[in-house]
Amino acid sequence: MRSNPSCLFSPRSAKLRKLGGETQAEQYRMAGSFASRPIEGVMPFAAIDLWIGKTFFIPLIIKLCQITRQTQFAMSRLFWFAATCDGLYRAETLIQSLIFGVLCVVALLTAAFRADFPARSMMPFRLLSLGLFAFDLMGALSKGDWAGIEFWVFVLFAEYAATIRTIPPGPTPKRRHSAKTVRQSGQGGSPFLRLARSNSALFEARA
């Protein structure tokens, strides 16, 4: 049963919904609506998930989409393909190699033929991935071995990219003047041509 959307705007839980000076509804519109809206019982986990995505992942994904002119769903499938390739590269047993090999082929086909199709992401899976990433990060800090930690980075980027629903337009580059406009304004050509134009204009003015 879905929760009543009006409970998201009740005055009783206004303080819980505040995160960085913005209401939860504003954060959903800015960062994209997440796959499942939180209910009152799991509000702290939803706030943590929203803050982590908004702070570390979503701005970078939006910037990358604006630079490459790709959709957020294509970026999600690209990061999933990178994660499966990394898992296949670091597989230690035959079973792991078979599993990641199949996942790699599926991710490749999905990224090739369904790149821009809408993708979904679940908050429990994102929180589980964050927990496993934190566990591997503590192990890497204690042992000094950072190999394999990038797998969860790819997974988290892929999952948070799927939560974005709209990509804001990037900054429009300044248009360069065309050669025809420069020639018409008398600023094109070599310095000698510009000097000749100015001298001819001076003589015409005296005449």
Q: What is the per-residue pLDDT across 121-169, written as a single tens digit (0 to 9) for each?
A: 999 999 999 999 999 999 999 988 888 899 999 999 999 999 998 898 8
Reported confidence tier of residue 199, pLDDT bands at 50, 70, 90 = low
- pLDDT at position 182 is 47
What are the start-end ranges of the H helices in the chain? 14-17, 24-31, 43-52, 58-68, 72-89, 94-113, 123-143, 150-163, 179-185, 191-206
How far apart CA 89 and CA 109 sit, in angstroms, is 19
- pLDDT tens digits for range 92-107: 999 999 999 999 999 9
DSSP code for 19:
B
How far apart CA 40 and CA 4 sit, in angstroms, is 11
**Structure-token pair, residue 2:** 């879905």
- pLDDT tens digits for range 29-50: 444 444 444 444 456 889 999 9
Does this model's pTM top 0.85? no
